[in-house]
Amino acid sequence: MDIRNHKGIGALGDYESVLPFQAIGLDTVVVSSEDGDDEVLNAIRKFRTGNYAILFVTEAIYAKFRDVLDEVNDAEDLTVVPMPGIGGSMGLGMQSIRKCVERAVGMDIFAVQ
């Protein structure tokens, strides 16, 4: 593997949600509900302009910053993957995966019976 072509994986969310990602050596940014929008947007900018291929984001952040994250997902070479937070799933991760797969194959394969 050529290290020059290596792209990182990051995680953005509350401490409890990103801790497992940090434990396996991924780049993480911890944001809490008390943090303002600027802190979250700065973290998104860090991953967007850095050398990252995948960004895991808690569904709570994804829901609040969906427009920005969808733009990043569509315009950049960075895949944003919503993940359930410590409070459980809101269903946004599956919706996002379904949308990406439909865009890639041209149909919703999850709806096929």
Q: Are 4 and 19 in contact (CB under 8 A)?
A: no
What is the value of pTM for the model shown?
0.78
User: In this structure, what is the dihedral angle of CA atoms 100, 101, 107, 112, given to the nearest 10 degrees?
Assistant: -130
Is pLDDT of 23 > 60?
yes
Within a domain: 57: yes
Structural domain boundaries enclosing 25: 3-105
Within a domain: 78: yes
Within a domain: 50: yes
Q: How many domains are there within the chain?
A: 1
CATH of the domain at 71: 3.40.50.10580
Within a domain: 110: no
pLDDT single digits (tens) 24-79: 999 999 997 677 788 999 999 999 888 898 999 998 899 889 899 988 888 778 88
